[in-house]
Amino acid sequence: MKFHIQTDRLILREWRMEDAFGILKLNSNPDVIKYLHLEPMKTEEEALDNIKWVTDQYSKNKIGRWIMLKKSTNEFMGWTGLKLEDMEMNGNKYFYDVGYRILPKFWGKGYATESVIASVKYGFEEMKLNKINAAAHCKNIASCRVLQKVGFEELETFKIFNFQAYWFEYTKGEYFSKK
């Protein structure tokens, strides 16, 4: 399945095997995974397995995370996008989750916000979703700000993987009322 979405500064596209080095660099960075329940990725083989797992979602669910490239340089920045989540989270199962993970050199420049805006637009306008959810570690203030800035409402806190997280929701009605 091919995806190609452009924003002012980003190219969002499907994951490819050639992204293994970037995925390894991203998922082995302790700052990137600080608020996640993950161990640092150690090998390119793990990165290739991760790519296979995401690309399988394209076939199975018609959606999955996208690679994020800097439009002006085609440089790997991280990933973003929607995912059909089938793991139970905060009492919910089978919901569309927006997420993103970006290399630190790109933090604080609005790229996460730009990518989430594009993801939400795709979800509501192309996929015709009724709502999109997100979860963020309560201490990950920057990530929570991104979600709130885009239009997600913080509904509650819940416990996942031994930490407290915020549960966010954005509905189709809220999205189209802001357009």
State how far the Cα of 167 lies from the Cα of 157, in Å rounded to an integer: 6
Confidence class for position 108, pLDDT limits 50, 70, 90: very high
Q: What percent of the chain has pLDDT over 70?
A: 100
pLDDT over threshold 80, residue 149: yes
Given a cut of 80, whether residue 159 has pLDDT beyond it is yes
> Can you give the three-state secondary structure of 115-156, one letter per residue?
HHHHHHHHHHHHCCCCEEEEEEECCCHHHHHHHHHHCCEEEE
Rg (CA), the chain: 15
Locate 127 and state its tokens.
Answer: 């996929």
Residue 58 — pLDDT band, cuts 50, 70, 90?
very high
Distances (CA, A) of 116 to 41, 134, 138: 24, 11, 19
Q: For the domain made up of 4-178, give the CATH fold.
A: Aminopeptidase (3.40.630)
pLDDT of residue 47: 98
Give 10's strand partners.
Answer: 70
pLDDT tens digit sequence for 65-82: 999 999 999 999 999 999
Dist CA 158 CA 169 (whole Å): 14
Neighbours of 172 (CB within 10 A): 15
Judged against a pLDDT cut of 90, whether residue 92 lies above it is answered with no
Can you give the pLDDT at residue 90? 85
**Mean pLDDT taken over the chain:** 96
Domain edges within the chain: 4-178
The band of 120, judged by pLDDT with boundaries at 50, 70 and 90, is very high
User: 95: Cβ–Cβ under 8 A, 6 or more apart, which residues?
Assistant: 84, 85, 89, 131, 133
The length of the chain in residues reads 179
pLDDT value at residue 119? 98
Whether 179 has a pLDDT exceeding 90, the answer reads: no
DSSP state of 41: P
158 φ, ψ (degrees, to nearest 5): -150, 165
Q: What does the pLDDT read at residue 40?
A: 96
Torsion of Cα atoms, 112 then 82 then 41 then 27, to 10°: -10
What residues does 98 pair with on adjacent strands?
A: 82
Whether this prediction's pTM lies above 0.75 is answered by yes
Cα separation of 90 and 166, whole Å? 10
The percentage of residues in the chain with a pLDDT greater than 90, rounded to a whole number, is 89
Look at residue 93 and tell me whether its pLDDT is greater than 90: no
For the segment 36-63, the average pLDDT, to the nearest whole number, is 95
